[in-house]
Structures are given as structure tokens and as C-alpha cells.
Structure 1
Amino acid sequence: MAIFGVGGAHPGGLQLTKELLSREKIDETTSILDAGCGTGQTSAYIAEQYRCKVTSLDCNKLMLDKARQRFLSLHSPIETQQGSTENLPFSEGIFDIILSESVISFTDVSLTIPEFKRVLKPNGVLLAIEMVLEKSLSEEELKTIVNFYGVSQILTENEWKTLFQRAKFKQVSVEKFNLQIDENNVQNATDFSLSENIDDEFFEILEKHMHFTKVYKDVLGFRLFRCCN
């Protein structure tokens, strides 16, 4: 994704992000962490739409470089930070909202979730979009998917909810979206910030991802988890 510079790789894309944020109370005093910001598409939208303080964090230097280029071109005063969600480079209780779009699954969940809780203010909110296992898979199929995507495991909705509750979030709500994507609205389209001289190997990986998406469309779903601190 870093090589292709994918702007919004999570399910639902920017259209879903806009829907989620529109439900929250956000004004110029709100402090938001875009955890796993990628190339900064979401961060740029938040800063422009809400004029609030946005901090963009990613562990991938190439992604972050592309995000910085985006923010510079938009004259957007977004703070960027390279770092891991498993050990956030921030003090306790400084964010009102953390937005995590298909990020936690690719980390050590037992470290990332408590870290998110630590840096949230009292009554702060974590909005997490995560992949869930809708139906059982054979051990072989599960291993194939886990190895391809580089996740440690694929959790069910209930397993995710249990993990958030164990981290002592006061309230955990789960929502299943059936978002109808408006393909005619270019503002909601996935954007790309392509690197130069992309190796054929990466196109093959992208093709395999599209194949998995089609084959396992009824098995791999996603949920929004809204966790209050």
C-alpha cells in the first residue's frame, strides 16, 4: 500500500469515514489522532472540514512522507509523527478522538488497544474500523489469509468486543454497515500517490488481494467499534 500510496484502503473508504465523524461532536477545540494515517487522505479531510487539531501517526516512513507532501500542498497545519500504535509517542490523556481505520489487526492487539485507551482523554472516543470473521474457515484457509495480509489472527465481532472491554473501555458499541458507495462522487474515490518504477511483484500482490476480496466476500466482513474512555 505504501508503494501504491493508497489513500483509503479500509472498507467503506472516505465515504464511511465522513459518516462516522459526522456523528461525533467535533469543533475547533477537538484533538484528533489519525492512527495509521497512511498517505493522509483522512487527516486532510478532518483538518479542512472541522478546523480542529489533527495529529497523523504512521509507522511506515514512505506513507508518512507522502502524507507530509499532501499536507504541504494543502497548506494544512497537521502534525505528523512516525511511530507504532503499540508504543505511542504521546503523553496520557491528550486526544478527544482516535480514528483507527483497519490498523489494529496489523499490530499486537494486546498492546495497541491499551495504548489507545491511555492517550485518550476521560470520556474520549476510539472509532475503530476492523475486519471480522463472519463464518468459520478451515485451518488451511485461515492460515493462507493470515499469511497474505500479515495479521496475527482474524477475530470475530465478539472477540473484538471482549478485547475492548478487557481494556476497561466504559462503553463499547458495535455497528455493522451496509454502506452504499456513491461511485459517481469523485470526492469519495480512493486516491493514489504512486511511487516511481513499481516492480511487477507489487501488481501481482494487488491482484491477489482483489481475488481474496471476491472469494471471501461472505466470510471476511468489517465492523465499526465505538469505545468510550
Structure 2
Amino acid sequence: MESTYLNCLALFGVGGAHPGGLQLTKNILSKEKIDDTMKILDVGCGTGQTSAYLSKEYGCQVTALDCHKIMLEKAKERFRLMQLPIDTVYGNAENLPFEDGSFDMVLSESVTAFTHISQSIPEFKRVLKPNGTLLAIEMTRENPVTEAELAQIIRFYGVKQLLSEPEWCAHFQRAGFNHVHSEIFKLQTDAMNMYNAVDFSMSKDIDDSYFQILNEHQYLSMIYQDKIGCRIFRCRV
């Protein structure tokens, strides 16, 4: 398996790898009106930490989707151990295997930037019910970067692009979301330290190269802390 950032997250089984982790997720969800009648899609569910919280806390019907088989297997094991009735689906954000208007809410936590957004964002819109909500936590370009810096960021993280807040909003609006609200989440270096994560589901015999990836992530988080930020987007039709 190729030594990449996403494969690193999968092998370490980092739950809440997005900036702010589960605590930020809880804060965002607490502002929404969620009950046990709702159907929620967790796109890029990873090891299933957020899906498990949604199911346990709100009793809603949760579907957890990921395109990384190791991540999805770890999510399934989490749900089994917690005895949670969560549907797990192997698939990708650019071609969601669901009918139009299937969900009341779509949640994307540091996922959309890794996709072809001209395909994934319209798919989020397509599978939402009328008046449905898209919640997205995404990496943003807060200050100018050089071509060399951009190339380094894209190479290491494997993202397809590094968008500014106005560029993100334009893509959401182009897909048909008429009400787009963004909120900045101030990144702290500590919050980006995966060694401090409280939720791990580690694979056996992890190659040393993946520890090196964690160290490089920490280094890039530090040197780009004034250029790479995080935005919380709430999008409705």
C-alpha cells in the first residue's frame, strides 16, 4: 500500500482527524435541529466516530460512507462493538449510490477537498431532501501561497485543490445551494497533533514510513499555520 497521508490515517485509525476533532463536531451539531426521524449521510466517515456519536446521541438513521476499505472496516467494527444500527456503504463522494432526496442532512468533515468538487458538491445537493442541510468542515487558503508551497501541500495531503473561502462559497452556490454560511475555525497547532488524538484503532505492524508522515504533517501544520485554515460551511437550498 502506498505511503500517503490518507493511508496513514487509515492505518492508525484516527477518529476525528479533522481540525477540532469530535468536540468541534459536537458543537456544530448542537446548533442543528436533529431528532430520531432524520436520515443523515456521513460522507467520508473514516473510522466512524462521528456516525457513532450521531446514532447514539440523537437516535437518527445514519448512513456511513467511505471509499477507503480499511477505514470502513474499522467503522463497521466500531458500530458492531457499540451495537449501533448504522448502515455502512463503500462508495465515493463523486458518485453517491443513493436516490435523489434521500437525506435530511449530509455531513462532510475534511472530505470534500480530497474530491473532484465539481462532481461531489452537486452530488451532496442531489441526495438532500428539499430544505436539507449540508455541513462541511474544510481546509481553506487563508493567505496567499506560492506555487511551490501549493504544490507541496497538494502533494503531501493529496487534496485536489486549496480553495479560499469565497471560492468554496462560489462552488456551493453553483451547485444550487442558495444559502451558504461560513464560519472560521481558528486552528491551533495542538489541535492538529494526531499524536494527541484520543481515538485510535491502529492496524498491526505499521511501517516506519507512516510515522514519518505523521511527523511531516506536524511540520507542515506549523509552517503553514498562517496560510492554511479551516472553515465550517452550512449550506441550504
Aligned pairs (5 A) from 1:154-165: 154-165=162-173
CA root-mean-square deviation: 1.7
- Aligned counterparts of 2:54 and 2:187: Cα–Cα separation in 1: 20
Among residues 83, 108, 122, which one is paired with 1:114 in the alignment? 122
CA distance in 2, matches of 1:182, 1:220: 15
* Aligned amino acid, residue 139 of structure 1: E
Q: CA deviation at 1:12?
A: 0.6
From the superposition, tell whether residues 87 and 205 of structure 1 become closer, same or farther in structure 2 (CA, over 3 Å). same
Paired letter, 2:232: L
Q: Write the letter of the residue equivalent to 1:166.
A: R
Percentage of pairs with the same residue: 59
What is the SS of the residue equivalent to 1:46? helix
Where has structure 1 moved over 3 Å in runs of 4 or more? 178-183
Q: 1:139 to 1:179 in 2, by over 3 A?
A: closer
Q: Which residue of 1 aligns with 2:111?
A: 103
1:217 aligns with 2:225: yes
Q: Does 1:226 align with 2:234?
A: yes
CA distance in 2, matches of 1:3, 1:181: 23
Residue 4 of structure 2 corresponds to which residue in structure 1?
Answer: none
Q: 1:47: Cα distance to partner?
A: 0.5
> Which aligned pairs between 1:176-191 and structure 2 lie closer than 5 A?
176-178=184-186, 189-191=197-199
Q: CA deviation at 1:97?
A: 0.7
Return closer, same or farther for 1:156/1:181 CA change in 2, 3 Å cut-off. closer
Deviation at 1:214, TM superposition (A): 0.8
CA contact (8 A) 2:65 2:90 kept: yes
Alpha-carbon distance in 2 for matches of 1:24, 1:116: 18
Out of 25, 44, 52, the position equivalent to 1:44 is 52
Gaps of 5+ in 2: 1-8
Aligned residues: 225
CA offsets, 1:162-195, max 9 Å, x none? 0001111121111113488999xxxx95411000
TM-score by length of structure 2 reads 0.92
> Partner residue of 2:31?
23
Q: Does 1:11 align with 2:19?
A: yes
8 Å CA contact 1:14, 1:190 repeated in 2: no
Q: Distance in 2 between matches of 1:124 and 1:103?
A: 19
The 1-side partners of 2:88 and 2:185 are apart by: 30
After superposition, give the CA deviation of every residue in 1:62-115 in whole Å (9 maximum; x if it has no partner). Answer: 000000000000000000000000000000001001110000000101000000
Structure 1 residue aligned with 2:68: 60
Deviation string 1:9-33 (CA, Å, 9 cap, x unpaired) is 1111000000111111111101110
- Distance in 2 between the 1:42 and 1:226 partners? 17
For 1:77 and 1:141, how far apart are their aligned partners in 2?
44
> Which residue identity does 1:80 align to in structure 2?
T
The 10-residue stretch of structure 1 (188-197 or 20-29) with the greater mean CA deviation from structure 2: 188-197
Q: Which consecutive unaligned segments of at least 5 residues does structure 1 have?
A: none
Kindly state the Cα deviation for residue 153 of structure 1 after the two structures are TM-superposed: 1.3
Give secondary structure in 1 for the equivalent of 2:42. Answer: strand
By percentage of residues, which structure has more helix?
2
Is it true that 1:83 corresponds to 2:84 in the alignment?
no
Equivalent residue for 1:175, pick from 168, 183, 198: 183
